[in-house]
Amino acid sequence: MFYNTKDTQPRKGRGKNKQARIRPIIRRIVMVSTVLTVFLCVIYGIFYTGSTGKKAKPLTLTGEPEFTVNLLTPNPYSRPQMALEKVKGIVVHYTANPGSSAEQNRDYFEGLKDSHLTKASSHFIIGIDGEIIQCIPSTEMSYASNDRNVDTISIECCHPDADGKFTDATYASLVKLTTWLCGKFELTENDVIRHYDVTGKKCPLYFVEHEDAWEQFRNDVAGR
């Protein structure tokens, strides 16, 4: 029996050579496809924000800001101990009491249990020097934002003058606290509002009369 070596061995060798040439090409195609996929995912993540009409991503939780916990005494006028619904927003206020300290405003809320003058309180108060006092647990409702009391965390800010402009220290603490709360409750800068946005009341005054300052604040929150 005779074997036609020209028809068998050389062909087998050519098949191996062809496969050897194809494998690097396939590897390159897979590598390029992987890199392109990762690139597109990154670009999608960057531009998937509220500016495109889609909901922005929740902000990253930053380091917890330093604050003093000095809770109000449970009472019907400033700390009713009513459970807060799911937190859907952060509301910024100003005290409308120029020159007063965070402690003084906290004491005012505390005194309502005896004076019964009104119902008022806030989860946090930021002082002129940037100090922060927590008055109410974030699981409970405060009397600060009218119809939004049931689903928001409130922040009162002290200010030195009647124009309501915050000091640099107050502003810095407000940005850090707001960013931390957004991270804690999976919110975005678009969920941060003013008391004014709830009722039309000019609170916080400076941020109402200076829309550019308000937008800059929300941008600063997003930037963290």
**Is residue 58 included in any domain, yes or no?**
no
| 145 within a domain of the structure (yes/no) | yes
Beta bridge partners of 203: none
CA distance 215 to 180: 18
| Residue 159 forms part of a structural domain | yes
H helix or E strand, kind and range, residue 89: strand 89-94
Enumerate helices (H) and strands (E) in the chain, giving the number of each: 6, 6
Q: Which two tokens stand for residue 192?
A: 């941060």
Is residue 55 included in any domain, yes or no? Answer: no
Give the domain extent around 200: 68-223
Q: Could you tell me if 76 and 184 lie in one domain?
A: yes
| Tally of structural domains, the chain | 2
Measured CA to CA, the distance from residue 56 to residue 85 in angstroms comes to 22
At 224 the pLDDT is: 78
| 213 shares its domain with 112 | yes
Judgement on whether residues 38 and 74 belong to the same structural domain of the protein = no
Q: How many whole angstroms separate alpha carbon 65 and alpha carbon 181?
A: 10
Q: Does 56 map to a domain?
A: no
Cβ proximity of 93 and 195 under 8 Å: yes
Inter-residue contact 205 to 94 (CB < 8 Å): yes
Per-residue model confidence (pLDDT) at position 85:
86
Q: Which residues of the chain have pLDDT under 70?
A: 1-62
Residue 154 lies in a domain: yes
Verify that 154 and 194 share a domain, yes or no. Answer: yes
Query: Is 96 a member of any domain?
Result: yes
pLDDT at res. 7: 43
**Looking at the structure, do residues 91 and 180 belong to the same domain, yes or no?**
yes
Write the pLDDT tens digit of every residue in 108-131: 999 999 999 999 999 999 999 999
Crossing angle between the packed helical segments 211-223 and 168-184, to the nearest 10 degrees: 50
Q: Kind of pairing, strands 132-134 and 124-126?
A: antiparallel
pLDDT score, position 55: 47
Report the half-sphere exposure of 75 (CA within 13 A, side-chain side): 19
User: Is 60 inside a domain boundary?
Assistant: no
DSSP character at residue 80? -
Q: What is the predicted pLDDT for the residue at 49?
A: 38
The CATH number linked to 160 is 3.40.80.10
